[in-house]
Structure 1
């Protein structure tokens, strides 16, 4: 299955979930904390799928890749830094 098909399938499941939550609210009331949490969580899922759909769009801008060289770093960049967690080279731990 393609990404588009999977996202469409998820969207249908979320639509079913929203209908089920609506029916549940009618049966037990929508004032309880539990029902509000389920409704809110379902809304968050719907928003997340919408973000996924945007990110998976074929014309969505892709971030530029940055090439990192395998060459060693210039050691002079770290002459004034301490070894993290080990303390300074010329001092003792308290």
Structure 2
């Protein structure tokens, strides 16, 4: 799997996963099994990442999105069940 990105100031990284298995997905929603698959999308701020996660989940109900800070610690996990909270 791709190495966690180096984030600058307010940047965050979005990671997609299959909601049923927790398996990480690449940008094309394919199970990430090799190090050359891109699994992180970097955003300049958390609000942009939340908007993107909402669009992904609205289109694909079986996906969950994690938004990570620089630590990398999950700041938010968005799913079809809690998307309305953000």
Structure possessing the higher radius of gyration over alpha carbons: 1
Higher percent of residues as strand: 2
TM-score, with structure 1 as normaliser: 0.27
TM-score, with structure 2 as normaliser: 0.29
Higher percent of residues as helix: 1
Larger relative contact order (Cα-Cα within 8 Å, sequence gap ≥ 6): 2
